[in-house]
Structure 1
Amino acid sequence: MIKIKLHKLLFYKALLAVFAVCNLTGFSTASAQAKKATWIYYPGDFEVWLGNKMQNRRTDRGSFLPVLWKMDSHYVLVEFHKDFDVPATEEVKLYVEGIYNAKVDGQAFIGYPKSITVPAGHHKVSLKVYCQDRVPAIFVQGKTVVSDDTWLVTFEDKEWIDATGKVSDKSGTTYLNAGAWNFNDPLSPPSKFRLPTLPQHAVKSEKKANSIFLDFGKETFGFVKLHGLKGKGKLHIYYGESREEAMSVEHCETLDELDINEPVKKDSVMELSKALRYVNAQYDGGISVDSVSMLYEYAPLTQRGAFRCSDDEVNKIYDISKYTLQLATREFFIDGIKRDRWIWSGDAYQSYAMNYYSFFDSPTVTRTILALRGKDPVTSHINTIMDYTFYWFLSINDYYQYTGDKSFIKQFYPRMQTLMDYCLARRDSNGMMAGLPGDWLFIDWADGLSKKGELSFEQLLFCRSLETMATCAKLNNDAEGAAKYQALADELKAKIFKLYWNDQKHALVHSLIDGAQSDNVTRYTNMFAIFFNYFNEQQKQDVKTNVLLNDKIQKITTPYMRFYELEALCAMGEQGYVLKQMKDYWGGMLKLGATSFWEEYNPDKTGADVYAMYGRPFGKSLCHAWGASPIYLLGKYYLGIKPLTPGYQSYLVEPNLGGLKWMEGTVPTPDGNIKMYCSTSQIKIKGDIGTGLLRIKSKSKPVCKTGTIQAKGNNGYELSIEKGKDYIVSYSAL
């Protein structure tokens, strides 16, 4: 808790209540105190521990359903230390998760002290903590001696004492900077982290003698609360994302079954949170319930991104996309809120992209990346899926490009290396990745999609992952590693075009089987190669015509891969076509009453089939993170704002109305926002960070009183955007 003396202004007293609420959830506001302490732990361990807790909440009709992959644990014994120059003797309070010893300059204090005295001068303060059920963590608060992420930590300090009493040289110990995440209240350690909740009431309730049926008006998530519960007997709660699901007591995906024995009225909250719109509570005649509500559980993140345009349907698609992502953003970016509630790397990779154009919340990104990676040794692909391992590498590359955060990459580069070593060891004799026993090759949910042979899609993602490793090696001053990874990437890229490109089909084929090209062309590899910028201009045009705009090529029905298909088309300047596709596809879900976007939408499915998936009548998730991709598409390819160098130190603004009359929006960055309005005749823009480059097409030379327009030929013009400066550009859109 932030300490403020009682004689300070009453204004600060009011702030205490605000800070307390923020700290209890693990999210904090700016502090008035210049030097504050925070809870620290071994980096990545809180993320692994919290991920284990969250992912093991999944149930299948009331039965525990564990994940399919290895779950790691936190290090149970951790040493923390830091050197301080203390100007005057000070009393230092200690708060610790676990049992511990505390030392100053190697001299231990007796027992488990709640505070220690650190004399004036240069001193090393250290704590060694053991904790099995929680993450070993410390909160150290003095005037000078405070815990923060500049402390060094290790899970093996290799300290020993010889026969003379000499302490060992610990130069062989690997130390990292401590992990921290705004746990700034000593009484709210990491183990007490909970997402906050708010009361939420149904918009419609149908109460009968032994049942209550509720409609909360839209997809939501949280804990059902029974008010005035009394009696003895059985009580059943059936949840539904659709009315049909909640009414289906035999086939709804989630439920609660309770034995009630309450002689007096009381309120009762369900132990586990659920996804729902509808609730069907049924109970024996000996039970009475006054009413039912819920506690809406949410991640308290601020929506920094915004988009509005001349098309009301597109505005609704954007709003529902934001709500979908909000629901699927919990302690981590998860896939869907009803069924899995797990952390899947492929799903998360898309959520990161949407996050950069909405919340721009870096901690949720890094927390998810670390929970997915886990610990060494590597024994399988992430989520057991080969392509999901590669998405994990790609997510780190994107994180650096959008945030410019080098420290995260430097801290966790060794975990990147060991995961890449695992991949390199699983190459076949051609130096490519083909499925081995235990590997799941996913790509997409698509009928009849072959997974045989060496798939071009996997090689493409592998190549991009190697390029990411080369970039991160350079950031870590690993010249040898950078050269090795870049050489491997270059070699593989050459193989991809030599072995998979087919001149007659004007595309990369789907696979090689026994060294020969298959006859099959799919959209996946070809669309990724476009926005990876692997094709030359002629190949891009060929692929656009012969694959992306070719109805004879198997269509994509999941929002998951529609994300990438539409991104490739946007990258080719097809915003007008994509806008129509967006209105048909996401608009199609809206016409069916969607209040959040689905895991899969096929307009050919009708009736009960609309909700079916995985052989179950209600198996489909009606709130799936990968359904929210319009957030990303509208921000990056319509507003046209993206970083050119890490952390938006330089950025591109290339607006494309795609048939809209006007649009306006805000794109968040690590330090402020970029705001823009664009119509067919005027552009207004202001950036809070870096140097921007506005690139537009105009029938005549644009006019801007506050900047110099540069002609670039072929009706192209550019304007440099300085930080903090307003620009109004008059132009005539082509």
Structure 2
Amino acid sequence: MKKNFILNIRTSFLLITTLTTLLSLFTTSKAHAQTNATWIWYPGDYEIWLSNKMQNRRTERGSFLPPFWKLDSHYVLIDFHKDYDIPTAEEAELAVDGQYNIKIDGKAFSGYPKKISLPAGKHRINMKVYNQASVPSVYFKSPHVVSDASWKVTFEDKEWIDASGKASDLSATKYVDAGSWNFNDALSMPSMFRLPVKPMKAVSSNKKAHSILVDFGKETFGFLKLHNVKGKGAINMYFGESKEEALDKLHGELADSITIDQAKADDYTFDGSRAFRYVNVVFDDNVSIDDVSMLYEYSPVEQRGSFKCNDEQINKIWDVAAYTMELNTREFFIDGIKRDRWVWSGDAAQSYLMNYYLYFDSPTVKRTISALRGKDPVTSHINTIMDYTFYWFISIYDYYQHSGDKAFIAQSYDSMKSMMDYCLKRRNKDGLMQGLSGDWVFIDWADGLSKQGEVSFEQMLLCRSLESMSLCANIMKDAQGATKYTALAKDLKTKLFAYYWNAQKHAMVHSRINGKQTDNVTRYANMFGIFFNYFNEAQKQDVKKYVLLNNKVPKITTPYMRFYELEALCAMGEQDYVLKQMKDYWGGMLNLGATSFWEEYNPDKKGAEVYAMYGRPFGKSLCHAWGASPIYLLGKYYLGVKPTSPGYNTYSIEPQLGGLQWMEGTIPTPKGDIKLKVSATEIKITSATGTGKLRIKSKSKPVSNGAAITTLANGSYEVSIEKGKDHTIKYTAI
């Protein structure tokens, strides 16, 4: 027991004292401008290895619960290669994660040297590294030769790839992202990486003879710490996102137990991180515990986005949404902190979008996308879910539109092609997707939702995925691929309307079975068709009236699909209606005491039943990433900022107050922030990036402090926004 105490204290000390170093690791990597030494590896391997570690931390009441899909592994043997030319000999230091040999011009050094002498002139360094347990990685530093984007790596497939992503055969035009992160110190071995922690005290404690019930005041995540533990016997911990869950010893989702034999009082910190607000610590007669606290674990990404308005409930919704994202932003974007703690593609696709308006942390996006894809050969859909595969395709192009990062498209393109080949081979005779053996057609958690036949929603996502493939093929200058994917997308889009549009129902039907339309109309394909811009104006108005605003069409109860439903309505200019929906839906969770947003909310449920899901009384996650969508909606459709060319080189601002009197906020972009304040009579904008176009409607021509104003039709005006200038526009909102 004493040994365990020492290990836990040592672990806590390590996590806390390395915080300063770890903070630098989450800054945006600029691999192609690397001037200092950094740890390097085969591109994508570290992401796969790290995600495997994270996703296998899940437990339920002390039982290990791993993912149910295929997990790939890193390449265990890597050859690192560097040609250099230096005027004089110099000494180099190196650090390696794994067994290795090192050669210069084919001549090997004996043993495992930590320092070598580099001869002057033109020479070649080769390092071969083997590591089964973690990713083979190298740190190399001399005055003129450093491990960075200029190194090449291979897993013995005989095709050299620069760490910066460029194939040695220039005709191959194969580019991938750098196989590095910001591990820029020889002692910062990538396999040692841990998220930072900070101490946190409970806000209240109810101590009885043999139990302590603590409340940390809000949903939180980290390592439980027991203070001055003494005695001999059992200690049981019952974690709860709600008080009811913590007090239910039989049915709570998370519980742990330890046995101690400790004559001298000492602290105990648990190795496993847990999600909770409440913890009920119950201990035997011969055991005593003075107090309970925790080490809060977090990802030190910078919150750059903001939103504030005259409506305090909306402000609270935005703040709680931001905290929900904070909790679910870890090494990767995960679905929820209590139950799964896995990387799900559909959940992550929404987290990326929220991230663009809250953090704009590109490294976490890229790590998550890479980890989800894994390696070839493809043997199943991502997470085994058909629609989640399609979200993966769409999210890559979304990332490019927001970041302008062509290198990541290059790194991902081959994996995109093989993943799409897998999908296309699974189409039926009509060229449509339907669930085959091993496929999970998810769509949404909804009672009675049919997944049978050829579901229109899946065809729409495939069509968008093919369009994304075509766009990425053009970026890669793959003319043959662009032609192929464009033709496939065009053909499928034609089939979408031929097979699913029903003029009498003014909407797309849910599915086809045996070649015939079903009578069922659901919201899913119809709302995606709006913001994918697949419908003409008349069809959009029909869908809005007969589907989105029609209470006879089954309602959506998950924040997951409410995200897209409200986006479709915002795209149709229904910000007034959406604001009321946000206040009702997310405000409804706040009224029930939510401190982070949930996996599902149904206002018809009362009492403790609001915590139930999956047939379990506390199965519902009360902190789910997809619950944070107001961040995205308020940033994109109220403040109205979005890129119109990759990386915000150009962008538009179309603010919509939607019933608010005023609002202000900050939108992060790759090259700086866009800040604006909006009322019905004045708009102030400062931008640190690109060239913007402000589009507004006004009863008379706006007046600006020097910005060019163009008159459009129907009382609309366009104002040019220049980088680095403060703009003030006076107008009268219509």
Q: Which residue of 2 aligns with 1:577?
A: 577
Classify the secondary structure of the residue corresponding to 1:356. Answer: helix
> Post-superposition shift, 1:79?
1.1
Q: What is the CA-CA distance between 1:209 and the residue it aligns to?
A: 1.0
- Which one-letter code corresponds to 2:283 in the other structure? Y
How has the CA–CA distance of structure 1 residues 30 and 428 changed in structure 2, closer, same or farther, with 3 Å as cutoff?
closer
1:27 paired with 2:25, answer yes
* Cα offset, 1:475, TM superposition: 1.3
Deviation (angstroms), 1:594: 0.4
Contact 2:176 2:409 (C-alpha < 8 Å) held by counterparts: no
Contact 2:22 2:195 in 1 (8 A): no
**Aligned residue number for residue 10 of structure 1:** none
2:682 aligned partner: 682
- Confirm or deny: 8 A CA contact 1:153 1:178 kept in the other structure: no
- What is residue 8 of structure 1 aligned with on the other side? none
Counterparts of 1:682 and 1:170 in 2: how far apart (Å)? 54
Structure 1 residues 723 and 91, CA gap change in structure 2 (3 angstroms): same
> Which range is displaced more, 669-678 or 144-153?
144-153
Structure 1 residues 156 and 605 mapped into 2: Cα distance closer, same or farther (>3 Å)?
same
Which position in structure 1 is the counterpart of 2:6? Answer: none
Deviation at 1:316, TM superposition (A): 0.3
Paired residues of 1:28 and 1:183 also in contact (CA < 8 A): no
After superposition, where does 1:658-697 map in structure 2 within 5 Å? 658-697=658-697
SS at match of 2:25: coil
Determine the structure 1 residue equivalent to 2:115: 115
Q: What pairs with 1:111-150 in structure 2 (closer than 5 Å)? A: 111-150=111-150
CA change 1:172–1:111 in 2 (3 A) is: farther
Counterpart position of 1:426: 426
* Corresponding position of 1:382: 382
**Letter in structure 1 aligned against 2:635:** G
- Which residue is 2:9 aligned to? none
Counterpart secondary structure, 2:615? coil
User: Cα gap change, 1:345/1:30 in structure 2, threshold over 3 Å: closer, same or farther?
Assistant: closer
Q: For the Cα contact (< 8 Å) 2:708–2:720, is it kept in 1?
A: yes
Measure the CA separation in 1 of the matches of 2:296 and 2:17: 22
Moved more, 720-729 or 455-464: 720-729
**Alignment partner, residue 184 of structure 1:** 184
Contact 1:653 1:692 in 2 (8 A): yes
Structure 1 length-normalised TM: 0.94
Identity of aligned residues (%): 66
Residue number in structure 1 paired with 2:391: 391
Question: Which position in structure 1 is the counterpart of 2:447?
Answer: 447
Determine the structure 2 residue equivalent to 1:222: 222
C-alpha distance in 2 between matches for 1:273 and 1:652 = 42
1:60 aligns with 2:66: no
Partner residue of 1:13?
none
Change (3 A) 1:115 1:170: farther
* Letter of the 2:211 counterpart: S
Q: Distance in 2 between matches of 1:19 and 1:410?
A: 38
Deviations 1:68-90 (A, max 9, x none): 10011100001111222323221
The residue identity in structure 1 corresponding to 2:694 is L
Hey, what's the Cα distance between the residues in 1 that align with 2:34 and 2:642? 34
Instruction: Kindly report which structure 2 residues correspond to 1:624-643, keeping only aligned pairs within 5 A, or say none.
Output: 624-643=624-643
What is the aligned partner in structure 2 of residue 156 from structure 1? Answer: 156
In structure 2, give the amino acid aligned to 1:148. D
* In structure 2, distance between residues paired with 1:106 and 1:157: 19
Aligned position for 1:11 = none
Cα distance, 1:705 vs. partner? 2.2
TM-score, normalised to structure 2, is 0.94
1:354 alignment partner AA: M
Q: Which residue of 2 aligns with 1:201?
A: 201
Match of 1:567 in 2: 567
Work out the CA distance in 1 between the residues paired with 2:57 and 2:649.
Answer: 41
CA distance in 2, matches of 1:86, 1:564: 57
Distance 2:239 2:540 in 1: 47
1:21 offset after TM fit, Å?
A: 4.2
Q: Secondary structure at the match of 1:357?
A: helix
Does residue 88 (structure 1) correspond to residue 88 (structure 2)? The answer is yes
Indicate how the Cα distance of structure 1 residues 418 and 49 shifts in structure 2: closer, same or farther if over 3 A, else same.
same
Once the two structures are superposed, what CA deviation does each residue of 1:312-351 show, in whole Å capped at 9, x if it has no partner?
1000000000000000111110001000100000000000
Which amino acid is 1:249 matched to? Answer: K
| SS of equivalent to 1:216 | strand
**Aligned CA distance change for structure 1 residues 29 and 408 (closer, same or farther; 3 Å):** closer
Give SS of 1:545's match: helix
Deviation, 1:115, is: 1.4
Match for residue 70 of structure 1?
70
Q: Deviations over 1:34-88 (max 9, x none)?
A: 9311111111111111111111110111111111100111000011112223232
Aligned-partner residue type, residue 234 of structure 1: A
Change (3 A) 1:279 1:427: same
Q: CA shift at 1:122, angstroms?
A: 2.4
Q: Distance in 1 between the 2:241 and 2:85 partners?
A: 59
Q: 1:447 to 1:20 in 2, by over 3 A?
A: closer
2:176–2:407 Cα contact (<8 Å) kept: no
The residue identity in structure 1 corresponding to 2:458 is E
Counterpart mapping for 1:594-609 below 5 A: 594-609=594-609
Shift of 1:171: 11
Residue equivalent to 2:250: 250
Match of residue 485 from structure 2: 485
- Change beyond 3 A, Cα 1:173–1:662: closer
In 1, the alpha carbon distance for the partners of 2:435 and 2:501 equals 21
Q: Equivalent residue of 1:41, what SS? A: coil
> 1:178/1:670 Cα in 2 relative to 1: closer, same or farther (>3 Å)?
closer
Q: Residues 553-588 of structure 1, C-alpha deviation per residue, up to 9 Å, x if partnerless?
A: 000000000000000000000000000000000000
Q: Residue 18 of structure 2 contacts residue 196 of structure 2 at CA under 8 Å; is this kept in 1?
A: no
Structure 1 30/54 Cα, relative in aligned 2: closer, same or farther at 3 Å?
A: closer
Q: 1:466 to 1:172 in 2, by over 3 A?
A: closer
- Indicate the residue corresponding to 2:406 in structure 1: 406
Deviations 1:363-401 (A, max 9, x none): 000000011101111110000000000000011010000
Deviations 1:591-627 (A, max 9, x none): 0010000000000000121100000000000000000
Cα gap change, 1:26/1:132 in structure 2, threshold over 3 Å: closer, same or farther? farther
1:719 alignment partner, SS class: strand
Residue 517 of structure 1: aligned partner: 517
1:147-176 superposed Cα distances (whole Å, 9 cap, x missing partner): 1133211111549xxxxxxxxx99999896
Closer/same/farther in 2, CA of residues 696 and 706 from structure 1, 3 Å limit: same
Contact 2:575–2:638 (CA under 8 A) maintained in structure 1: yes
| Conservation of the 8 A alpha-carbon contact between 1:157 and 1:170 | no
- Whichever residue aligns with residue 345 of structure 2, its letter is S
Structure 2 residue ranges without an equivalent (≥5): 1-15, 160-168
The number of residues matched between the two structures is 708
The letter for the 2-side match of 1:603 is P
- Output the CA distance in 2 between the equivalents of 1:30 and 1:499: 45
Determine the C-alpha separation between the residues in 1 that align with 2:616 and 2:605. Answer: 15
Residues 1:172 and 1:534: Cα distance change in structure 2 (over 3 Å): closer
Q: Does the CA-based 8 Å contact 2:38-2:184 persist in structure 1?
A: yes
Cα distance between partner residues in 1 of 2:595 and 2:112: 53
Tell me if structure 2 keeps the 8 A contact 1:152–1:175: no
Match of 2:703, SS?
coil
The verdict on how the C-alpha distance between 1:583 and 1:29 changes in structure 2, with shifts beyond 3 A counting, is: closer
Q: Closer, same or farther in 2 for the Cα pair 1:427/1:124, shift >3 Å?
A: same
The residue type equivalent to 2:392 in the other structure is: W
CA-based RMSD: 2.0
Counterpart CA distance in 1 for 2:732 and 2:125 is 66
The letter of the residue matching 2:101 is N
AA paired with 1:414? Answer: D
1:728 and 2:728 aligned: yes
Q: Which amino acid aligns with 1:370?
A: S
Deviation string, structure 1 residues 428-487 (Cα, Å, up to 9, x no partner): 000111100000000000110001110000000000001111111111121101110111
Instruction: Report the Cα offset of residue 658 of structure 1.
Output: 0.2
Distance 1:661 1:726 in 2: 22
Contact 1:76 1:135 in 2 (8 A): yes
Q: Distance in 2 between matches of 1:694 and 1:472?
A: 29
Correspondence for 1:279: 279
2:305 maps to: 305
SS in 2 for 1:673: strand
Quote how far apart the aligned CAs of 1:120 are.
2.2
**Cα drift, residue 231 of structure 1:** 1.1
Q: Check 1:174–1:465 CA distance in 2 against 1; reply closer, same or farther (3 A cut).
A: closer
